[in-house]
Every structure is written in C-alpha cells, then in structure tokens.
C-alpha cells in the first residue's frame, strides 16, 4: 500500500471523528470504466445492493471533492444542466470520471459521513476540521480538495488556508447560459464579470458624473433659486440617495440580474417597479442622446477660424438685442432685453427655436444628422456589452476631470465671478423652500447624479463578483459625485456672474433657465480663454464623452432587462447580442426625433421634468418598499453579510426603513398641497394645459406597470383564494438552500427524496502493487482458461 495512503488510515484521529465510510445518494451507479489504479488515486468501492448483486469498481482521481478555486471551468453550467445530464461538468481535471447524476455531490460543500450505519451531514467547517486532522487540505473553506498527507507543518497550513489566485474571467455573453424556464429561474446566473474592480467603479462614476452633473445640475439649481436649492439637495442626497445607492448595488450583486428580475425575485408583488425603472431609463436615453447631438454640432463648429458665438456680427441669427463687451466699451445703449452672442447662437442658429410647444415648426435636419452620429457612437461603444464599454471608460471617465479643473481656474478669474459664487452659496429667498418644485428637483437631481432608481446601478452590480465590497464602491461613487457637482456648480455660476456683470442685470434675471443653459454659459467662458478654438474643441469633446458615459449605462440596463426577461427568444430569434443592441438604438433614435424640431427644446424640458424628476420619485419609493419592507430588512442584512462579511450600518438600515420613504412621501404630499406648473424662460412662458396632460400621462403609463404586474402576479400565484394568492406574492421568489438555508452556496441542487435512493460508496486505499500483479496474473489465467474452454467446445463440435 502507498505510504501516504497508509498514513491516512493509520492516523489515530480518523476514528475520532467517526469517519468510517463516505456515503451519498445517487439515482444510478456510475458505469464501469477500465482504468488501472496508478499513482496516488483512491478507489471507490460501491457496497452491495439490497438484492445482493455485485457492483463494479470505479477509479477516480484524488480530486474527488469539489473543484477548488485553482481549477475552475472556463464556462459555468447551472445546476439544472447537471441535473439534466449535461456531460460537460464543472471540472478542469480530466481524471474525474463521475456521471452527471453524481456531480451534485462533487459540487456540494458538505459531505455525508456514515457512523454506525447512520448518515450525518457535516458542514464545511466540520469538514475542514476533520479533514485537516487526517491530512486533507482545504482551499477556501467551502470547496474541499482531498490531497496527500503534508510532510511539514507549513505545508499543512498552506493546505488549510492557501492563497487564492485571481479567478478566470468568463468570456461568454452577458446573458446566462442556463435555460430560463422552470423552477431554476431563481438561481443566480453566470454573467460576464467586470475584468477588474476599477472597471466597475469607472462605469459607476462615468454614469453618475456624466450629463447629470455637468449638464443637468447647473440649470436645475439655477431654476430652483440658487443657494436655497443646496439644502434640500443635501438632505435628499444624504438620507435618500446614498442609502438607495448602497441598496441597489447590494441587490444587483446578490441576485446577478437586471432590475426587473431582481425586484421580481425579492418582491414578486412589486415586480412592476423594475419594469417602470427600465421604461424611465429608455425615455431618458431618447433625449440624453439629443445632448450628444448638440455636442457634436458644437464640436464641428469649433473648428472655424472665428467662433460664431463670440461676436454679434452674424446677421443670419444675431438680433439688435445682442450685447457683448465690445458694445459696452463703445458706450452704446444697452437694449431692454440684452442677450449674449452664445444665447442667440444656441436659440436662433442651432435650434431655430419657436415661440412655444404649440408651434412645433420644422425638423432640424442638421441636428438629425448629428443625432444619427450620436447613436452610431453609442452602438459601437456597447455592442459587445461590458467587454467593449469598459475599455472606453478609462478615457471617457477621467478626461473630463482634467478639463473641469482647467476651466474652473479660468472661470474664477473672470470679472463678476464673485456675484455668481454668492448666488451659488448664499440663499437669497428662503421662501423657495415652500415651493414643491424645489424639493422635487432636489430629489430628482440627487437620483440623477447618483444614477439610482433607473436600474443602471443594479445592472452594473449584477456583473460584480459575489464577494465584492459594495460599501467601498458606494463611498467612492457618492464622494466623487458630490465633489464633481460642487466643482461644476462653482464653475457654472462664476461664468453666470460674469454674464451678469456684462449685461448689468441681477443674477436671477441674467439668463434664461432651461436645458440649454450649459450651451450658453460654457461657450461664454470658452470665448475668454486664450486659443478659444482649441479649448472649445476639447470642451465639447469632453461633453461628448460625458454623454456617452451616461448612454452606456442607460442603454445597457434596457439590454440587460430584455435579456433577463426573454432569454430563450433572444437566443433563438435574434441569436446575436449585437442585433438586440442595434434594435434598441434604432427605436430610441425615432423616439428622440420630437426633441429636435423647432419646438423640441420645450418638449425636452417637459419630458425631463415629468420623467426624471416626478416619475423617478415614485419609482424610488416603491423600490424601497419592495426591498426594505416586503423582502425584509433582516433578510437583506443577512445577504449583505454573506457577500461582504459585514452588516450594513445602523445609519443605512435606519434610512432604508424610515428616513428615505418618509422624505419621499413628504415631498409627494408637499407637491399635492403646493403644486406649481412647469414654466420656461424664467417663468415668462407657461406650458399649455394639454402639454401638462401629456407629461402626467407619461407618468401614469410608467407607474401603471406597478399595479398591473401586481395584479398579474397575484392572478398567477399559487393559492386557493385571493388572500392566499396575495400572501404568496409577498414571499421572495429566490433560491434558498435546504441544507444551510443560504441563498448562494455550493449546495445549488435541490435533491428530492423521490429522485435519489441510498447507494453507499466506501472510500478504500489503492491496492498494493503486489496485489495488482496478482490480480493481473489471475485475470490472465482466467482469460487463458476461458480461451481453452472455447477451443475445447469448438473441437468437440467439429468432432461431432
């Protein structure tokens, strides 16, 4: 007998733990395989059946237990593929000769040992202690590998707690390999992983520090009263935004699904909340792409020798109200309604803006061409899912910060900048806090800047590894988001102060509010820079990068949700991931065309207000209710501890349960009590009543998904009556192991008692070389005897 195997059985502690034979249940015994037991291999000797029939010896490699982290398969197959007999198992060692019916034992993290005829299940911790004492190592405490007896204490320690190498990156498509039917739909799929943690953080930062901060924050703050806006913004960011960001990263990483599947598993009753968030993301993609089109238009215009927004000498779009520093130096009479050259270029040249949404006007075909270019860039940036978009984010997420720092330094040196900074930091009219639109805008901006309640963060986190530390990601993303908002705000209002100095007007009346604010104040600052053409090209290229960062996340969540919802149809009909992305981009392009007619800027602000500010508040509220209340905060805390080994803080849990839903409800009731209709151009233009009905209709259609899916799930739920069906939808539809009661463990197959019957298998040491020779000689003698018998029988027949 081999000395190491002999030491295994001579170990006095072997009987201490009652480990006499290794037993498990299987439906069919493995078929006979003729392999010579050589090397350090263990021989599995099945015990006799109840009918007394003999069984055949099967030889397996020492890697009888689950494959370690050192040996992972390139492609992961779900538990269902093992149960259905898929021959490709999750083992890299070719010596493993187990049938699919026995593979569940190999992939489990516990072993069934028999002691005096009674089977007992030993957990991973027990297995580690027992196996280590008899000379068997462990890779990570969950996956066991039977090894040789260590020759030194240091070798034993390396077996018990070895260094964990980096896991291999899966290169399959972003949708999972397993079929999405049956009762295995609630098992976490194998998705494409981020190749590194930095890629995930850059994706989140690029999305949150995209157009939401650079484009949306200045004009939302300006129309909400300046410094008074910061108070509700900080409150909603601290007590609502950051806790929801942590929650979305947690549930996305835990389930490994998109927002629809994630909320459908945690709370089937409110599955429609995930659908509503995806619809909001799709609607945002239709008009965020318009900002990219504007950036492309300005980008190519910046290559002119003279920037057209620096002077009032363009009769095609400049009016007598055009006013700049040159006219001020000539002591000309200031008009009653002075406008900067940048304002007139944006409104009269690029948009050719009409007098209201009731005057739609013609299509701006040059902007249509820019919009096509924008969607082409978006498509080729995400057509390979996260594999293609992560490579671009290294540049698109870091380059804007360099330019923001340079422009900030220049803006602070402009004349009148101190007036703009006072308007930014010092509240002027505290009565604005009674205005419900200020709180709605503050909450909506905190959600937009962090990228929460749109499903994008859930989708991003679904590509994380299961043990990723989401707390660090939350702190990193929220910190960078806050710093960027402040820098962009200081830069923007310093330029507004300069415009007010030139016009001789107060800050609150110096410029028209609206989505085009960024294309008015930034060109004004660029015109003051040395070599303005160069800085204009760099700035609008930066704005293009920010728009792409936002579109990456928004379109990706739509793609991920469709793949999660219709996996079989996508694989059989569309086949290619690139084709699905192309269809989504084409549909979103046509939905964005109303934003580039002559009245498109009015429609743009209407959709942005009712979708990104009003609707998103309801979506965030029902998301909190679905996860923190219905799924239960205790379950969520346990899940987070499984992933990160740490419980969420008391502050985070308090915000989930009480603070966040209370603030959202308070904003909702304030809006009902003090609702003010949407206006444009500093309140000089009021939207017609039918335009508000369009906005509320869009909000109603999106939110109707929540009760519609609730009714549908109640109707399909199990139960004898309506109350029983309703109670069933309150239970989470997520996999829970019957052995350890955890959601993600290595016992990922529900072994039913009817499917398997007891079939004990005994672990025996390999036979001696001498016995092998004797067996070989015996077999040869038996074969010779059989050959002689056959020859004698043939000779007797021939004689007869």
Helix, strand, coil distribution of the chain in percent, nearest 5: 60, 5, 35
Task: Select the more confidently predicted residue: 530 or 152.
Answer: 530
- Cβ count within 10 A of residue 12: 8
H or E segment to which residue 285 belongs: helix 272-301
Q: Residue 386: name the closest of 531, 553, 234 by CA.
A: 553
Q: Is 67 annotated as a binding residue?
A: no
**Residue ranges per structural domain of the chain:** 3-173+751-767, 194-290+367-427+436-716
Q: Is 437 annotated as a binding residue?
A: no
Q: Which residues contact 241 (CB under 8 A, 6 or more apart)?
A: 446, 447, 449, 450, 452, 478
Identify any residues that bridge with 188 across adjacent strands, giving them in sequence order: none
Q: How far apart are CA 54 and CA 37, in angstroms?
A: 20
Q: Is 206 annotated as a binding residue?
A: yes
| 128-143 per-position pLDDT tens digit | 334 444 334 334 444 4
Q: Is 481 annotated as a binding residue?
A: yes
Q: How far apart are CA 256 and CA 639, in angstroms?
A: 13
Q: How confident is the model at residue 556 (pLDDT cuts 50, 70, 90)?
A: confident
Identify any residues that bridge with 757 across adjacent strands, giving them in sequence order: 26
Describe the crossing of helices 386-396 and 365-382 by its angle, rounded to 10 degrees. 110
Q: How confident is the model at residue 89 (pLDDT cuts 50, 70, 90)?
A: very low
Q: What does the pLDDT average to over 778-785?
A: 61
Q: What does the pLDDT average to over 458-479?
A: 91
Identify any residues that bridge with 113 across adjacent strands, giving them in sequence order: 22, 120
**150, 159 Cβ separation under 8 angstroms:** yes
Across the chain, mean pLDDT equals: 74
For the segment(s) 194-290+367-427+436-716, the CATH number from 1.10.1040.10, 1.20.1740.10, 3.30.43.10, 2.160.20.10 is 1.20.1740.10
Q: What does the pLDDT average to over 566-584?
A: 83
pLDDT of 64: 35
**318, 392 Cβ separation under 8 angstroms:** no
Identify any residues that bridge with 316 across adjacent strands, giving them in sequence order: none
Q: How confident is the model at residue 598 (pLDDT cuts 50, 70, 90)?
A: very high
Task: Select the more confidently predicted residue: 82 or 399.
Answer: 399
Quick one: 45 exposed, middle or buried, by C-beta within 10 A (0-12, 13-18, 19+)?
Answer: middle
Residue 406 has pLDDT above 70, yes or no: yes
Residue corresponding to tokens 């028999």: 114
Q: What does the pLDDT average to over 478-491?
A: 91
Residue 48 has pLDDT above 90, yes or no: no
Q: What does the pLDDT average to over 107-134?
A: 38
Highest mean pLDDT among 183-192, 295-304, 407-416: 295-304
Quick one: 287 exposed, middle or buried, by C-beta within 10 A (0-12, 13-18, 19+)?
Answer: buried
> What's the sign of the alpha-carbon dihedral 667, 668, 669, 672?
positive
Highest mean pLDDT among 373-382, 751-760, 779-788: 373-382
Q: How far apart are CA 518 and CA 657, in angstroms?
A: 37
H-state helical runs in 451-531: 456-461, 470-503, 518-526
Q: How far apart are CA 19 and CA 130, in angstroms?
A: 9
Task: Select the more confidently predicted residue: 453 or 207.
Answer: 453
Residue 573 has pLDDT above 90, yes or no: no
Residue 308 has pLDDT above 60, yes or no: yes
pLDDT of 149: 57
| 601-654 per-position pLDDT tens digit | 999 999 999 998 889 999 999 999 999 999 999 999 999 998 999 999 999 999
Q: Is 408 annotated as a binding residue?
A: no
pLDDT of 389: 57
Tell me the C-alpha to C-alpha distance, in Å, between residue 266 and each of 97, 247, 263: 38, 12, 5
pLDDT of 161: 59
Specify the pTM: 0.70
Q: Which of 45-54, 268-277, 334-343 has the lowest mean pLDDT?
A: 45-54
> What's the sign of the alpha-carbon dihedral 324, 328, 331, 336?
positive
C-alpha R_g of the chain: 34
Q: What does the pLDDT average to over 459-482?
A: 91
Q: Which of 56-60, 269-273, 309-313 has the lowest mean pLDDT?
A: 56-60
Q: What does the pLDDT average to over 529-534?
A: 87
Residue 655 has pLDDT above 90, yes or no: yes
Q: Which of 124-128, 190-194, 361-365 has the lowest mean pLDDT?
A: 124-128
- The backbone torsions φ and ψ at residue 115, rounded to the nearest 5 degrees and listed phi first, read -135, 110
Q: Which long-range contacts (CB under 8 A, 24 or more apart) does 46-51 make?
A: 46/759, 46/760, 46/761, 46/762, 47/759, 47/760, 47/761, 47/762
Q: How far apart are CA 297 and CA 311, in angstroms?
A: 19
Residue 20 has pLDDT above 50, yes or no: no
Q: Is residue 37 classed as helix, strand or coil in its secondary structure?
A: coil
- Cβ count within 10 A of residue 670: 18
Residue 33 has pLDDT above 70, yes or no: no
């Amino acid at each position: 007998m081999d000395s190491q195997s002999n030491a295994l059985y001579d170990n006095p502690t072997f009987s201490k733990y009652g480990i006499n034979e290794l037993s498990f249940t299987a439906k069919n015994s493995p078929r006979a395989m003729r392999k010579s037991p050589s090397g350090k291999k263990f021989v599995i000797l099945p015990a006799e059946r109840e009918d007394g029939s003999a069984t055949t010896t099967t030889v397996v490699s020492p890697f009888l237990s689950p494959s370690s982290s050192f040996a992972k398969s390139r492609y992961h197959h779900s538990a269902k593929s093992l149960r259905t007999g898929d021959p490709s198992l999750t083992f890299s060692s070719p010596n493993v000769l187990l049938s699919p019916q026995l593979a569940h034992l190999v992939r489990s993290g516990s072993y069934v040992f028999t002691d005096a005829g009674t089977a007992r299940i030993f957990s991973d911790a027990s297995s580690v202690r027992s196996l280590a004492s008899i000379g068997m190592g462990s890779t990570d405490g969950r996956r066991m590998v039977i090894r040789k007896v260590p020759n030194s204490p240091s070798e034993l320690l390396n077996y018990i707690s070895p260094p964990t190498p980096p896991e291999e990156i899966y290169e399959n498509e972003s949708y999972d390999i397993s079929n999405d039917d049956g009762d295995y739909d609630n098992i976490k799929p194998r998705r494409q992983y981020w190749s590194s943690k930095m890629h995930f953080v850059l994706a989140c930062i690029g999305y949150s520090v995209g157009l939401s901060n650079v484009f949306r924050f200045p004009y939302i703050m300006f129309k909400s009263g300046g410094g008074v806006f910061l108070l509700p913004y900080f409150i909603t960011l601290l007590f609502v935004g950051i806790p929801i960001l942590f929650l979305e990263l947690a549930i996305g990483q835990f389930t490994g699904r998109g927002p629809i599947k994630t909320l459908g598993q945690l709370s089937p009753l409110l599955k429609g909340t995930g659908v509503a968030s995806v619809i909001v993301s799709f609607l945002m993609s239709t008009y965020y792409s318009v900002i990219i089109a504007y950036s492309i238009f300005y980008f190519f215009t910046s290559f002119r020798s003279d920037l057209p927004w620096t002077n009032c000498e363009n009769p095609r779009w400049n009016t007598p109200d055009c006013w700049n520093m040159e006219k001020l130096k000539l002591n000309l009479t200031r008009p009653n309604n002075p406008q900067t050259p940048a304002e007139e270029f944006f409104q009269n040249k690029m948009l050719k803006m009409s007098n209201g949404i009731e005057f739609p006007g013609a299509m701006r075909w040059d902007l249509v061409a820019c919009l096509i270019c924008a969607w082409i860039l978006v498509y080729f940036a995400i057509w390979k899912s996260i594999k293609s978009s992560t490579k671009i984010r290294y540049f698109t997420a870091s380059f804007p910060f360099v330019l923001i720092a340079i422009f900030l330094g220049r803006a602070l040196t402009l004349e009148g900048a101190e007036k703009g900074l006072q308007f930014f930091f010092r509240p002027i009219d505290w009565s604005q806090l009674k205005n419900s639109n200020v709180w709605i805008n503050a909450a909506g901006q905190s959600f937009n800047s962090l990228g929460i309640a749109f499903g994008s963060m859930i989708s991003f986190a679904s590509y994380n590894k299961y043990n990723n530390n989401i707390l660090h990601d939350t702190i990193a993303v929220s910190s960078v988001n806050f710093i960027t908002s402040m820098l962009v705000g200081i830069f923007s209002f310093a330029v507004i102060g300069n415009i007010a100095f030139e016009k001789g007007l107060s800050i609150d009346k110096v410029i028209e509010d609206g989505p085009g604010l960024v294309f008015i104040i930034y060109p004004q600052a660029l015109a003051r820079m040395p070599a303005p053409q160069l800085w204009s090209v760099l700035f609008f290229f930066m704005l293009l990068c920010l728009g792409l960062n936002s579109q990456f996340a928004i379109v990706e969540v739509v793609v991920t949700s469709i793949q999660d919802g219709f996996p079989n149809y996508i694989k059989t009909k569309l086949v290619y991931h690139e084709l699905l992305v192309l269809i989504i981009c084409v549909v979103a392009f046509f939905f964005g065309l109303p934003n580039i007619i002559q009245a498109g800027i009015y429609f743009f602000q209407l959709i942005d207000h009712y979708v990104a500010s009003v609707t998103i508040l309801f979506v965030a509220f029902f998301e909190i209710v679905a996860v923190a209340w219905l799924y239960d905060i205790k379950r969520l805390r346990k899940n987070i501890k499984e992933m990160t080994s740490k419980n969420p803080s008391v502050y985070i849990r308090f915000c989930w349960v009480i603070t966040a839903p209370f603030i959202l409800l308070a904003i909702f009731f304030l809006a009902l009590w003090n609702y003010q209709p949407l206006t444009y151009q500093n309140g000089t233009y009021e939207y017609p009543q039918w335009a508000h009905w369009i906005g509320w209709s869009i909000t109603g259609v999106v939110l109707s998904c929540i009760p519609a899916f609730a009714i549908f799930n109640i109707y399909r739920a199990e139960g004898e009556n309506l109350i029983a069906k309703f109670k069933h939808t309150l239970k989470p539809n997520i996999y829970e192991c019957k052995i350890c009661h955890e959601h993600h463990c290595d016992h990922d197959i529900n072994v039913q008692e009817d499917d398997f019957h007891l079939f004990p298998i005994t672990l025996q040491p390999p036979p001696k070389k001498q016995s092998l020779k004797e067996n070989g000689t015996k077999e040869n003698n038996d074969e010779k005897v059989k050959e002689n018998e056959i020859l004698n029988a043939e000779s007797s027949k021939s004689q007869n």
